[in-house]
A and B are shown apart, each in its own frame.
Chain A
Amino acid sequence: MSRAALSVEQRLQLLEDKEDIRQIIIDYASALDAQDADAYIALFAEEAEWVNGGMVRKGKEEIRALVAGLFPTKPDDFVNLETFEVTFHPRIELNGDRAKMRSGHLLFRRGPGGNPVPVLFGRYEDEFIREDGVWKILRRVDIPTIPTGEEYLPVIRARQRIQEQHIKGAKG
């Protein structure tokens, strides 16, 4: 569709839609950093899908169960001093009440000297839907790239084991 054929209002709507979708990604990273499960879930559509390699979660309840396991209980004024995400290159293609976006992200973790160290570069391939007038994530595909999913899995498992030991240690 050529832009010349669009009214000023239609052109404005396209910009607003892209702006709202970019905002979802900022809210998403902020929910991850804050480990805020409610804020995280609120970004997804009712029929949403979350995909990472062979791991698929369908619907808000399955996604909630996934993040509830990842985000430990914490105080309201929690500040994440261990990790943060940088996201970049949001490339959005709009199609009425649907949209697609590809973007990149870099996960940093506190290093031994206290300084941030990049640990994972990944890509997102997302689909969005306008649900009751609000843009929501319909499908988020998370593609770990450096390292790849296969390479990253052992890192995650090792970290989970350490966390479990800490929890056991704290309980014992």
Chain B
Amino acid sequence: MRRAALLAAALAATMPVAATAKAPAKPTLEQRVQRLEDEDAIRHIFIAYAAALDGKNADAYVALFAKNGQWINGSIVRKGPAEIHALIDGMFHNTPAGYVNKDSFELTFHPDIKVDGDRATSRSEHVLFRRHMDGSGLPQAVLFGRYEDEFIRENGVWKILKRVDIPTIPTPEEWGRIMRARQQQPAQPPAGGAQ
């Protein structure tokens, strides 16, 4: 759908000159490769973001944001790397080197990316899986959420300018109650081996 204009331009370019007078310029090979590269680079950010959460790696997480990057979840707003670092530091306390998360993971999917020069927007989705609370050790889907993002190319590298995190199933209110209940539970014993 969003490429209709691009494809129309490509088709128009094969028509006689008179018919293409009003058509936008056909993108060059370089522009076409650039678009594929840009979308690919932004898809990498989604995966790196999930990996930073899974690995509880605050530095890797913050490095994905732009100088003026914002993180928003409901009424919680954090602006700039220092504020975002402070937010995440509280959650990722003293992660040992080589840590492998055996308690939770983020599955990210459906990146819908629209690039416009050095800016881009995207909507995507994620499911958070956690070790089941019933003690079985099985993975349980606990949260489906949506991201609505803005990106900026900063010194040639794509960065998150704004990430809006929208818990959806359960709703933010339900999720807040679940998180509070979880925090009141005694800490789970560490899972698995030392890997």
Contact = CB atoms under 8 A, between A and B. Distances in A.
Contact of A87 (B11, B29, B110): B110
A114 B174 contact: yes
Contacts of B127: 86, 108, 116
B144 A19 contact: no
Interface string B12-56: 000000000000000001001100100100000000000000000
- B interface majority secondary structure: mixed
A134 B7 contact: yes
A160 B174 CA distance: 27
Interface residues of B, number: 33
Contact of B144 (A87, A113, A116): A116
B132 to A, nearest CB: 10
Contacts of B39: 19
Given A15-B36, A19-B36, A81 B169 contact: yes
A62 interface: no
Interface stretch (B58-66, B87-95, B135-143): B135-143
A81 B171 contact: yes
Contacts of B29: 8-9, 12
Nearest to A42: B1
B107 A116 contact: no
Contact of A108 (B8, B10, B36, B169): B169
B180 interface: no
A87 B1 CA distance: 19
Contact of A84 (B4, B33, B125, B142): B125
Given A9-B29, A115-B141, A116-B144, A133 B8 contact: yes
B109 A86 contact: yes
A26 B167 CA distance: 19
Given A108-B127, A133-B7, A134-B4, A16 B168 contact: no
B10 A26 contact: no
Contacts of A84: 125, 144, 168-169
Given A82-B169, A114-B174, A117-B141, A26 B7 contact: no
B178 interface: yes
B143 to A, nearest CB: 7
A118 interface: yes
B110 A115 contact: no
B1 to A, nearest CB: 7
Nearest to B4: A134
B144 A26 contact: no
Nearest to A16: B32
B80 interface: no
11 contacts: A8-B29, A9-B29, A81-B168, A84-B144, A86-B110, A87-B109, A108-B169, A114-B169, A114-B175, A115-B178, A116-B141
Given A30-B110, A116-B144, 11 more contacts: A16-B36, A23-B1, A26-B110, A26-B111, A42-B1, A84-B168, A86-B109, A86-B110, A115-B143, A133-B7, A133-B10
Q: 10 closest A-B pairs (Cβ-Cβ)?
A: A114-B170, A133-B7, A114-B174, A116-B141, A116-B144, A26-B110, A133-B11, A116-B169, A115-B142, A110-B169
